[in-house]
Amino acid sequence: MSNTKVVIVGGGTFNSISCHLSLAAPAFGTTARQLSKIYQGHGVDVELVLTKMADHTSKIVTNDDLLEKLVHIADDPDVNVLVMNAAVCDFEMDSPSDEARLSSSQDYHAVLRGVQGKLVKLFKEIRPDVIVVGFKTTSGAKWTTQLSKAAMSLENNGIDIVMANDVATKTNLVLTRHTEFVAMASRDHCLSFIAAESLDLIE
């Protein structure tokens, strides 16, 4: 599979509130780096893209930066697989003050709202030919709930493979659109399954 190109995106993004305060989706690139090694073991060309949270040299900080990078990736005709492991900050705040820098000596109240639109869905709409892998994180959920959320992610975003992992129970499962197969296993086994399955799906 020497002509196969896989792009793995990892790390977290920020949404700024004031000059030195942001909301964030914490992620530091550990899984993305692990997946990069697994795919390299299959003999494919791997491009590892990390946000600044995971790589201090990166220029990807915000959701808009990440969107710009994904559009650039979509423009590459050689890409066969996109693994979207980045933790996107899906919330933003109405500014609690007009001040550029908030004072820690007083309290503020602000409205937290969800950011509409999924980057992975947008990518798949632009490049339906690319196999796209997504991730869904829960906390303290039953495995049936994880399965339901993974199925919704497949359906709503039009992607091909979803790994659902629960940070509290440590339960991991993988759901694929094409085989209707659910794999519940250790994190390492799930990541290996994702790599093998996504490469098998390339036409």
pLDDT tier, 178 (very low <50, low <70, confident <90, very high otherwise): confident
CA dist 63 and 51 (Å) reads 10
Query: Is residue 191 predicted with pLDDT exceeding 90?
Result: yes
pLDDT attached to residue 32: 98
Alpha carbon dihedral 4, 13, 35, 179, in 10-degree steps, equals -70
| 86 against 111, higher pLDDT | 86
Domain of residue 192: give its range: 5-200
Average pLDDT score over the chain:
88
pLDDT tier, 3 (very low <50, low <70, confident <90, very high otherwise): confident
The mean pLDDT of 13-30, rounded to a whole number, is: 88
Our count of domains for the chain comes to 1
The mean pLDDT of 75-99, rounded to a whole number, is: 83
pLDDT tier, 84 (very low <50, low <70, confident <90, very high otherwise): very high
Q: Which structure tokens are listed for 46?
A: 């791997």
Contacts of 159 (CB under 8 A, 6+ apart): 84, 120, 121, 124, 132, 133, 134, 153, 177
Surface-to-core class of residue 13, CB atoms within 10 Å of its CB (0-12 exposed, 13-18 middle, 19+ buried): buried
pLDDT attached to residue 157: 92
CATH number for the domain harbouring residue 9 = 3.40.50.10300
The mean pLDDT of 94-99, rounded to a whole number, is: 55
The DSSP bridge pattern shows strands 21-24 and 14-18 to be: antiparallel
Contacts of 21 (CB under 8 A, 6+ apart): 102
Q: pLDDT of 117-160, one tens digit each?
A: 689 999 999 999 999 999 999 999 998 899 899 999 999 999 99
The DSSP bridge pattern shows strands 79-84 and 5-10 to be: parallel
- What predicted TM-score, i.e. pTM, was given to this entire model? 0.90
Percentage of residues in the chain having pLDDT higher than 70: 84
The mean pLDDT of 39-66, rounded to a whole number, is: 97
Contacts of 14 (CB under 8 A, 6+ apart): 22, 23, 24, 53, 61, 62, 89
Contact at 8 Å (CB) between 166 and 141?
yes
Contact at 8 Å (CB) between 58 and 52?
yes
